[in-house]
Amino acid sequence: MIGKIKKAIRISNDSINDEIEDTIRQCYADMHRKGIKIYDKDGEIRDCIKDDPLVLACQKNYARWQFNFENQAERYEKAYKSMSDGLCLCGDYNDVQ
């Protein structure tokens, strides 16, 4: 996952890997807070979430927002919030089923 996020924010070195990993965890936590079923009963990230292209797109936008990619943080914040809000309304992703 970190490799895909680094590529999305155009980072090629490993100097901020810890910060990127924290950002990924923050995104998962925010999505969970919104009602998206991120974690399994043991508190681990669900396998289907790890490979989900819509979740990955949310994470890319979240990282671009947090790292102010191309000085367009506001643009990526709106994109992240719109996508994650859509997922939280979808029965395949939310806790309410």
Distance from C-alpha of 88 to C-alpha of 90, rounded to nearest angstrom: 6
Q: Provide the residue-wise pLDDT of the chain in tens; the chain has 97 residues.
A: 899 999 999 999 999 999 999 999 999 999 999 999 999 999 999 999 988 999 999 999 999 999 999 999 999 999 999 999 999 998 888 865 4
d(CA 81, CA 90): 14
Q: What is the per-residue pLDDT for 92?
A: 82
pLDDT at 1 (0 to 100):
82
Its pTM stands at 0.91
pLDDT number for residue 97: 47
Place of tokens 């998206």: 36
Nearest Cα residue to 95 out of 31, 35, 38 = 35
In single-letter form, the type of residue at position 47 comes to D
d(CA 32, CA 40): 11
- Residue 43 region by backbone torsions, left for phi larger than 0, else alpha for psi between -120 and 50, else beta: left
